[in-house]
Chains A and B, each alone.
Chain A
C-alpha cells in the first residue's frame, strides 16, 4: 500500500472504512489485476485487427461485434482442450516453468502506479529494481521449460531465449541508470512526479533521453521476444521454441504472459521516459493553471496512461506486421556491440548534464 497517507485510495480504505492494511492491499491488487486482465482481452484483439488491416485482411469478424469476443472464445477453446504432456517429459519441471513465467509476469505489475493520487498495489521503495528482479526469473524458467519438454525444438528454443534475455537485460538496465541517478529514487511514483515537475525525460539532455528511451524500448521488445526479435520462437525452424510442447491451458497461460510482458515493457517505458500518467511534457511553472488542474485529475491520469499504453500496443502490432526476423548473430551483436556502448554513453550524458552543465538543461 502507498506510504503517503494523503493518497485518497488509502484514505478511503484505511482512514474512512477502517479496513486492515492487508485488506486494502488485497482490494488494490484485485482492482489492478482486473484492469490488467480486461486489457489482456482487448490488446490481442487490437493487435490482430491492426495487423490484418496492414496485410489487407479483415481480421477476426465472426464472434461478437467486429470480432471483439474472438479472444475470450479462443481462451475458452484452449481451456477446454485435453491437458497433454510429452512422453519422457520432466513432470515437475514442465509445470514449474509455466508456474514461474505466469506468476512473475503478474507480480511485475505490483509497483506500477495508476495515477498520482490513485491506485498502487504495492508502493515499494525499490519499484523499478523490483520489476527487473522479478523479470530476471523468466530466463531460467524458459530454460527449465525447454529442457523439461523433452523435445529438441524446445531445448534449442530455451537456449536461444535465455541467451537473448540475458543479452538485452544489460543495455535495458544501463539505459535507465541515468534516469534513476537524476531522480535519486527507484520508486516509479517519484520518477513520474519528477517528470511532472521537470518535463519528460524523452525530450531532455540533448537527445540522450530520446536515445536512452529508444534503447530501452527496443531492448524491451527483445525481452518480450516479439517480432523482429522472435528468434527463440522462429516457427520455420523451431516450431514454437520453448513453447512447442505446451498445449491447452498451459499455452493460453504462456500467450497471456507474452501480452503481460508487452504491457510491462510499454508501461515501464512510459513511466521512465514519457511521463507515465502525465499529459503535459514540460515544466509545471511554464504551463497554464487550468492544465495543471486537469493533469492532476486522477481520472484523466488513468485515461492518459491507458491511452499511452494502447499507442505502444499499436506500435508493437505495426512492428510485427512490418519487420522481418533478425538472425541470432545479428541480434546478439546488436545487443552487445551497439546498444550497450550507446546506453553507457547516454548515461554519461545524463550524469554530465545534471552535475556539470546543469544550467544548459532544456526546459
Chain B
C-alpha cells in the first residue's frame, strides 16, 4: 500500500467506530489496489510517475473520504433532521411557554402558601430560578426525544445511497495528519495527567473532598506509612510515566512498549496489593470501623479488576491493529 493510499484510508476510517476500522480499511485498500492494477494492465508503459497518477485518479474517483466515511457509518450526522424539524420547532413554540407559565404560577402559589410573609424579592428569585431550570430541562428533553425519534426514522440501504457533489474533491484536500498518532498522543497525555494525579494522592488533604472532619483535614494516606512504601509507589509511577512519555514522543504504541507498559501496570497492582494487605494504608481515622480489613480487600479487588480490564482492552486493541 502506498503512503497516499494509506493516508486516504486513514481519512476514511478515522471517524468510523473503532471495531469496524480494520475491516473497512482492508476492503478499501484491496479495492484501490484492484482498481489501480486494472488501469495499469491496460497500459503497457507503467512508469512510477504513471502509477502515481493512476493512483491519484482512482482516489479522486472514490471521492471525498469524509463522504465515503458517512456512507459507511450510515448514520445521520445531524441531531434534528429535516423530517423532524417542523415538529421540533412546534414543540418548542408551544411546550416551552406552557411549561414556563405553569412553573411561574406554581412557584408563586407555593411560595406564598408556605411562607405567608414572603417578600416580593423572594417570590421573584425563587420563581425565576426554578423557571429557568424547568425551561432548560424541557428544552433538553424535547431535543433528546425528537432527536432519537428522528434517527430512528432514517431510511434503509437504498435511501442511504445519497450521492455527494461530484468533482469537488481532489487528493490535495486529504488531511495528511496521522490520526492514529494523534490518538496515541492524546491517550498518553491523559495517562500522564492521571499518573501525576496518582502521585499527589499522598499529599491530598481530606478537607478537599468535604470529609476533612473525619481526620481533621489530614491526608487520605496513613501518616505512619513507611517512607520506603511511598518511594516505591512513586518509583513505579515514574516507570508508568516513562512508558507514557515514550508513547507521546514517538506517537506510536509498539508491541514492546505496550508489553513493558502492561508489566509495569501489573507490578503496580502487585505493589499496592502487598501494601494494602500488610498494613493500614488509608488514614486510620477514615477506616476507623470494624470493616477496615474488608475495605482494604475491596480496594485490592478493585485494583485488580481495573488492571485486568486495562490489560485485556490493550491486548484486544493490539490484536485488532495487527490484522
A and B are interacting partners: no
Question: Residues on B close to A: CB < 8 A?
Answer: none
